[in-house]
Amino acid sequence: MTEPTLYVVATPIGNLRDMVPRAVEVLQTVDVIAAEDTRHSARLLEHFQVTTRLLAYHDHSDEQQVEYLAGLLQSGQSLALISDAGTPLVSDPGYRLVNRVRQLGIRVVPIPGACALIAALSASGLPSDRFAFEGFLPAKSGQRCNRLQPLAAEERTLIFYEAPHRIAASLADMAAVFGAGREAVLARELTKTFETIAGGSLVELQQFVEADANQRKGEMVVIVRGKVRAAERTLDAEAERVMSILLRQLSVKQASELGAEITGLKKKALYQWALEQRQ
Ligand code: SAM
């Protein structure tokens, strides 16, 4: 008999072809699948010809539900945990169950796959060596700004999930707290038909979503460059003078491109200096 196992299975974030073969195999062979929304998951499972018994699980499920699922594992059954999309536990249910199951000494195995924050970061062009995932921000502006405030000095790249009806207001709050010129990327509808990955300063992105209602639709991730360290922004006096003039009329990106042509300095160094001026 194989050891009872809880499999934490990632599912696609929009494109069904992103389902990994091992995930299908596991879902077909476990005894029970615990899903965030059984009706939603039924469609996915039907597509992959998975007929395994489905049970509902949320992190606000009562203690009894967690104990019931843990009991199935203790009785020798294997379970798979899935969420509506992407990797379970990442802004999705699963933490309480995985925590309990590990406490009981039962094996937990991840089946990796899609995750919106990683997909967005990998295509953002922003530093990916150190990053902080902040999940969803509060819905109200005051609370949102309170959450953003301590992050203003964070040097790691910041990643947020955001709802479409709040994107413009959130970008405006980020611009107010981090500085309008802070570089950011909006990754929308990843892996789907209207996938859009737009970069610019926070204020440019805010204007971009305000000008086009389509950019305020669907699912989205916001990635914000961390605060640029002082050591990275040393320019000589002449370069600073040129850049200051350019920045009066141009965006950070345009000013650094033109500045690099004029001064012969590296575009990246000019870009970072320019960002710091706008913060
Ligand atoms: N567990 C999921 C994961 O691994 O990414 C995240 C679940 S969370 C409830 C849903 C949020 O993830 C959305 O509001 C959006 O911020 C982000 N998201 C999910 N799918 C996305 C996609 N295809 N493109 C962009 N963002 C997405």
pLDDT digits (tens, 9 = 90+) for 21-61: 999 999 999 999 999 999 999 999 999 999 999 999 987 77
- Say which residues have a Cβ less than 8 Å from residue 94's Cβ, sequence separation at least 6: 8, 57, 59, 81, 83, 88
The neighbouring-strand residues paired with 35 are: 56, 82
Whole-angstrom distance, CA of residue 135 vs CA of residue 154: 16
Ligand 1 atom with the smallest distance to the CA of 115 is 4
Whole-angstrom distance, CA of residue 124 vs CA of residue 228: 17
Alpha carbon of 88 to ligand 1 centroid (Å): 11
Residue 79 φ/ψ, nearest 5 degrees: -130, 150
- Say which residues have a Cβ less than 8 Å from residue 180's Cβ, sequence separation at least 6: 201, 202, 203, 278
- Say which residues have a Cβ less than 8 Å from residue 88's Cβ, sequence separation at least 6: 8, 9, 10, 36, 81, 82, 94
Determine if ligand 1 sits within 6 Å of the CB of residue 170: no
| DSSP letters spanning 92-151 | SS-HHHHHHHHHTT-EEEEE----HHHHHHHHH-S--SSEEEEEEPPSSHHHHHHHHGGG
Whole-angstrom distance, CA of residue 113 vs CA of residue 23: 8
Whole-angstrom distance, CA of residue 37 vs CA of residue 150: 35
Over 90: is that where the pLDDT of 237 sits?
no
Whole-angstrom distance, CA of residue 247 vs CA of residue 274: 7
Give pLDDT, residue 232. 58
**Ligand 1 pocket mutation pick from 161, 166, 192, 196 by most atoms within 8 angstroms of CB:** 161
Alpha carbon of 13 to ligand 1 centroid (Å): 7
Let me know: does 82 contact 11? Beta carbons within 8 Å.
yes
Containing H/E element for 19?
A: none
Determine if ligand 1 sits within 6 Å of the CB of residue 191: yes
Q: What is the pLDDT of residues 56-86, one digit of tens each?
A: 998 777 788 999 999 999 999 999 999 999 9
Determine if ligand 1 sits within 6 Å of the CB of residue 175: no
User: What is the average pLDDT value for the chain, to the nearest integer?
Assistant: 94
Give pLDDT, residue 163. 97
Determine if ligand 1 sits within 6 Å of the CB of residue 9: no
Whole-angstrom distance, CA of residue 38 vs CA of residue 32: 12
Q: What is the pLDDT of residues 193-219, one digit of tens each?
A: 999 999 999 999 999 999 999 999 999
Determine if ligand 1 sits within 6 Å of the CB of residue 32: no
Alpha carbon of 83 to ligand 1 centroid (Å): 11
Alpha carbon of 38 to ligand 1 centroid (Å): 18
Give me Rg for the CA atoms of the chain. Answer: 23
Q: What is the pLDDT of residues 122-170, one digit of tens each?
A: 999 999 999 999 999 999 999 999 999 999 999 999 999 999 999 999 9
Give pLDDT, residue 58. 85
pTM of the entire predicted model: 0.85
